[in-house]
Amino acid sequence: MIIIGELINGMYKDVTRAINNREADIIQHLALEQVKEGASILDVNTGPYSKDPTRDMKWLVETIQAVVEVPLSLDSTKADVIEEGLKITRKRAIINSTSADTDRMDIIFGLAKRYNAQVIGLTMDKTGVPNSKGDRLELAQAIVAKAIEYGINTEDLYLDPILLPLNVAQAQAAEVLESLREIRLLCNPAPQTVFGLSNLSQGAYKSRSIINRTFLTMAIANGLTSVILDPLDRKLMDALITAELLLNKNIYCESFLDAYRKR
Ligand code: THG
């Protein structure tokens, strides 16, 4: 499983404050902790309240790269903000993300080609997130076709069927599970699959952690290859490691949780 740490995101109030006050130590602590707990990529999002997202992205990337070496997932709806990050990332970056809209895909896949980046494609378009698995698959197919048109290796494409909060769209979680299975069959080599796990439990307060980890194990069994999550949630990471063990992706031993973490 490719684990993308979600914590450097202006959606978190503490992170927004750290960005605004240029408190590098707070961001660097989050970067170091996430990598220590198993993140192999860090998502970087200036958040919805940033007044100058281009400058904030540049500062975040520089600040993070001063302490960790992992690749970064440049998370923004604005192409110029993403490009600012692409100019200075030292490891191969992931662009997070494009929608299935043709004009957006042309810009994003153009950037991916120019900077040799990987791309996350969301199965949504200007009309929003579709309700059914079938409509998600249709948009996924359009993204795959565009990636191929730009000469992107489909292994470097991550398709995100988009998890919505359970408390507003309960029926959608099951549609996402089925989408995961079928997305893997769209092309050869198979695209990666990914989603933002914490979306699912937004507004669920007390039960967030149990909802997240239960769904994650189900998704792993349905072909999820990568996930954006909070790697500091110990029980969640235990569930992830155990799910991979049960799918025979790691070797069982009495202390498999420790063994996996020490790798
Ligand atoms: N797909 C892709 N990228 C994504 C998402 C996705 N990036 C952003 C997001 N979704 C994944 N990251 C988060 C980060 C935080 C939360 C949810 C998803 C979150 N934050 C707390 C909340 O809203 O309750 C913040 C509250 C606080 O200040 O503590 O839930 O789906 N490709």
Contact call for residues 225 and 256 (beta carbons, < 8 A): no
Q: What angle do CA 167, 30, 91 make, to 5 degrees?
A: 105
Give the residue whose CA is nearest to atom 24 of ligand 1: 202
Name the region of 223 (left: φ>0; alpha: ψ -120 to 50; beta: rest): left
For 43, residues 6+ apart whose C-beta sits below 8 A from its C-beta are 4, 5, 6, 8, 9, 72, 73, 75, 96, 228
Q: What is the mean pLDDT of residues 164-187?
A: 96
Between the CA of residue 144 and those of 17, 128, 132, 183, 189, what are the distances in Å? 38, 19, 19, 10, 11
Q: What angle do CA 168, 172, 174 make, to 5 degrees?
A: 135
Alpha helices (H) in 150-207, listed in sequence order: 172-183
Q: Global pTM?
A: 0.97
Taken as a whole, the chain contains a residue count of 263
Q: Which residues line ligand 1 (CB under 6 A)?
A: 6, 9, 11-13, 43, 45, 75, 96-97, 120, 160, 162-163, 195-196, 198-199, 202, 228
Give the residue whose CA is nearest to atom 22 of ligand 1: 202
pLDDT at 168: 93
Tell me the CA–centroid distance for residue 149 and ligand 1, in Å: 31
Tell me the per-residue pLDDT of 95-142, one tens digit each, with 9 for 90 and over.
Answer: 999 999 999 999 999 999 999 999 999 999 999 999 999 999 999 999
Tell me the CA–centroid distance for residue 85 and ligand 1, in Å: 20
Nearest to 140 by CA among 110, 172, 184: 184
Substitution candidate for ligand 1 out of 199, 200, 226 with most atoms within 8 A of CB: 199
Q: Give the pLDDT band (50/70/90) at residue 263.
A: confident
